C-alpha cells in the first residue's frame, strides 16, 4: 500500500513572477524552463506559444512544460473570448496536426476544465470553453479508446478523467501516494495531515472544506466566499477537485461515525453540488466501491 513518492508538486519559478501572485491555483506537477517570458502578454504570448511549440518534439519535456505554463498563464489573468478561442485553436493542433502523447492530452483536458471553472459566470468565455471542451474530450476519448487500458490505469489523473466509471486509478487509491500529492494543496493539507496522523476524531470538523470546493452553486458565483484557509473557493484547478473526491473516498473508510459522515456527505453532494460529468461519475463510483470493495 505504501508506494514511493514519485510525483513532485508544482513549483513557481522565477520567470513566472509577473502573474504568479495573481492566482492561488494548485497544480500537481512541476514546471521547468523559461517557456513563457513574463513580459509576453496578449497576442504576443500566443505568438510565442505558437513559435515555441513548432520547435519542440512530441512527447518532450519541453513541450509538456510549454503546455503547462500556458494553462497557468491563461488561468492567472482575464482573457477575452477571442483570446481564449485563439489559444484553444492553437492547443487543438497538438491533437489534429502533430503526434501527441498521453500527457499532452491530459494537460490540455484538465486545463480546459480549470479554465471553465475560472471563467464560470462569464457567458461568452464559458460558451467558448465549454464548446471546445466537448469537442476536445470526444477526440481525446477516441485516442484513449485506441490505447491499452493498462497504459493509463496506473497513471495518476488519467483514469479519473477518461474512465471515471471504473473509479479511482491505482495511484489515487493508495493513501501514501495521494498524501504525497496533496502536501502543498492548501485547502486539503489540513485533512491530509489529520489522516496521516490518524487523528480521525478531528476529521469531521474539516469535511466542510471538501463541500466548499464543489459548492451547491456554480463556481463562478463563489468569489464572495472563502474557505477557513483564506483562499477564495473560485481559485480551483480541475485537479484539486478530483483530489478532493479521492480524499473523501479514503475518509469514507474510517471506521465508525467519521466514515459514515463522509459517506452521507458524498450522498448529499451528488444531489446538491456542481460537478463536471467525470467528477460526478467518479464520486458515484466511489460510493459504490466503498460498499463493495475492501479498503485500499
Residues 189 and 85 in one domain: no
Same domain, 235 and 176: yes
* Domain span at 129: 14-147
Expressed in angstroms, the distance from the first to the final Cα of the chain is: 7
Query: CA torsion angle for 54, 57, 58, 59 (degrees, to 10)?
Result: -130
| Closest residue by Cα to residue 290 from 270, 267, 264, 263 | 263
Average pLDDT, the chain: 77
pLDDT in tens, 27-84: 887 766 544 555 545 567 888 888 888 888 877 888 888 888 888 888 887 888 998 9
Last residue of a domain, one of 147, 176, 203: 147
Helix extents (H) in the chain: 17-20, 42-53, 61-76, 81-96, 102-119, 123-146, 149-153, 158-162, 170-173, 175-181, 189-196, 208-214, 238-252, 257-272, 277-292
Q: Tell me whether residue 105 is in a domain.
A: yes
User: Given this model, what pLDDT does residue 10 score?
Assistant: 27
Same domain, 136 and 166: no
Specify whether 247 is located in the same domain as 277.
yes
Q: Is residue 155 part of a domain?
A: no
HSE-up of residue 285 (Cα within 13 Å, Cβ side): 19
Total residues belonging to the chain: 296
198 pLDDT exceeds 90?
Answer: yes
- 130 and 199 co-located in one domain: no
pLDDT above 90 covers a percentage of the chain that reads 35
Average pLDDT over every residue of 226-251: 76
Is residue 217 domain-shared with residue 95, that is, in the same domain? no
Number of structural domains, the chain?
2
211 within a domain of the structure (yes/no): yes
Residue 55 lies in a domain: yes
Shared domain for 32 and 142, answered yes or no, is: yes
Query: CA 24 to CA 235: how far, in whole Å?
Result: 6
User: Residues 100, 185: one domain?
Assistant: no
- Banded model confidence at residue 136, pLDDT cuts 50, 70, 90: confident
How many percent of the chain have pLDDT more than 70?
Answer: 72
Q: Give me the mean pLDDT over the 232-251 stretch.
A: 87
CA distance 237 to 246: 15
Average pLDDT over residues 260-264: 95
Residue 26, pLDDT score:
84
Are residues 36 and 137 both part of a single domain? yes
Joined grid coordinates for residue 73: 498563464
Asked if pLDDT for residue 14 goes beyond 50, the answer is no
Asked whether residue 132 falls in the same domain as residue 23, the answer is: yes
pLDDT confidence of 230, banded at 50, 70, 90?
Answer: very low
Query: 167 and 85, same structural domain?
Result: no
Using the 3D structure, point to which of 147, 177, 196 is the last residue of a domain.
147
In a domain, 213, yes or no: yes
Residue where a domain stops, chosen among 147, 182, 211:
147
Structure-derived torsion over alpha carbons of residues 280, 283, 288, 294, reported in degrees to the nearest 10: 160
Task: Choose the weakest-confidence range: 17-26, 70-79, 100-109.
Answer: 17-26
**Does 139 lie in the same domain as 20?**
yes
Q: How confident is the model at residue 262 (pLDDT cuts 50, 70, 90)?
A: very high
Amino acid at each position: 500500500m505504501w508506494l514511493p513518492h514519485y510525483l513532485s508538486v508544482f513549483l513557481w519559478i522565477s520567470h513566472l513572477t509577473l502573474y504568479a501572485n495573481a492566482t492561488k491555483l494548485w497544480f500537481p506537477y512541476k514546471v521547468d524552463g523559461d517557456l513563457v517570458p513574463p513580459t509576453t502578454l496578449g497576442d504576443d504570448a500566443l505568438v510565442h506559444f505558437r513559435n515555441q511549440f513548432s520547435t519542440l518534439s512530441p512527447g518532450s519535456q519541453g513541450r509538456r512544460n510549454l503546455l503547462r505554463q500556458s494553462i497557468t498563464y491563461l488561468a492567472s489573468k482575464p482573457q477575452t473570448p477571442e483570446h481564449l478561442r485563439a489559444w484553444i485553436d492553437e492547443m487543438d493542433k497538438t491533437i489534429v496536426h502533430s503526434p501527441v502523447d498521453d500527457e499532452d492530452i491530459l494537460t490540455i483536458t484538465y486545463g480546459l476544465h480549470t479554465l471553465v471553472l475560472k471563467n464560470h459566470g462569464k457567458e461568452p468565455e464559458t460558451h467558448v470553453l465549454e464548446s471546445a471542451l466537448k469537442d476536445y474530450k470526444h477526440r481525446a476519448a477516441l485516442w484513449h479508446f485506441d490505447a491499452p487500458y493498462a497504459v493509463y490505469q496506473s497513471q495518476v489523473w488519467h483514469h479519473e478523467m477518461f474512465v471515471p466509471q471504473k473509479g479511482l486509478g491505482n495511484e489515487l487509491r493508495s493513501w501514501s501516494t495521494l498524501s504525497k500529492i496533496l502536501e502543498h494543496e492548501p485547502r486539503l493539507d489540513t485533512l491530509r495531515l489529520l489522516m496521516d496522523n490518524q487523528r480521525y476524531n478531528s476529521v469531521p470538523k474539516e469535511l466542510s472544506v471538501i463541500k466548499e470546493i464543489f459548492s451547491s452553486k456554480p463556481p463562478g458565483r463563489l468569489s464572495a466566499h472563502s474557505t477557513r484557509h483564506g483562499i477564495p473557493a473560485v481559485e480551483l484547478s480541475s485537479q484539486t477537485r478530483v483530489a478532493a473526491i479521492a480524499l473523501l473516498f479514503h475518509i469514507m473508510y474510517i471506521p465508525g461515525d467519521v466514515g459514515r459522515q463522509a459517506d452521507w456527505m458524498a450522498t448529499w453532494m451528488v444531489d446538491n453540488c456542481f460537478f463536471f460529468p467525470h467528477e460526478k461519475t467518479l464520486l458515484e463510483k466511489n460510493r459504490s466501491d466503498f460498499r463493495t470493495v475492501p479498503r485500499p
